[in-house]
Amino acid sequence: MKYTCEVVIDKPRDEVINLFDNPDNMKYWQKGFKSFEHVSGEPGKPGAESIIKYDFGNRKMELIETITFRQLPDEFHGNYTTKGVVNIQKNYFKDEGGKTRWISEAEFKFSGFMKIMAFFMGKKPFKKQTQAFMEDFKSFAEGNPKYGQD
């Protein structure tokens, strides 16, 4: 399953990248985020792996992030793996004269029971969640008080 989402952020690209590239900021724009723990490789570089934990009420999720490509401020790609799911994420940041266009290309690969679940769920809930995270990041980056920084 593949799809693309995008959002235009009313901030210069260098400011957007500084916020995006800091794992400490994930709590401000990823609902359910609990923790980010680097486990191997050079932090922030291709090959680095981290564990990201989420808590969605009665559903807890743990992902392994593996950075696959990093050429900021232009691109950041990573794989996010959990039981039965691999999300291949490619992020592109375009400078638009004081604004930033963030384009996210997602590809999901499913195995086992998740393959059946994905068939019945379809693409819509996955795309909706990606777009929601991107819109929340936009609000955070633009200084919406709901997404305040410590």
Query: pTM above 0.95?
Result: no
Transcribe 50-116 into DSSP letters: EEEEEEETTEEEEEEEEEEEEETTTEEEEEEEETTEEEEEEEEEEE-SS-EEEEEEEEEEE-THHHH
pLDDT in tens, 104-148: 999 988 766 565 565 556 667 778 889 999 999 999 999 875 655
Q: Given this model, what pLDDT does residue 35 score? A: 96
pLDDT in tens, 28-77: 999 999 999 999 999 999 999 999 999 988 889 999 999 999 999 999 99
Weakest mean pLDDT among 9-13, 84-88, 91-95: 84-88
Give me the residue spans of the domains in the chain. 2-142
The class that CATH gives domain 2-142 is: alpha beta
C-alpha 30/C-alpha 80 separation (Å) is 15
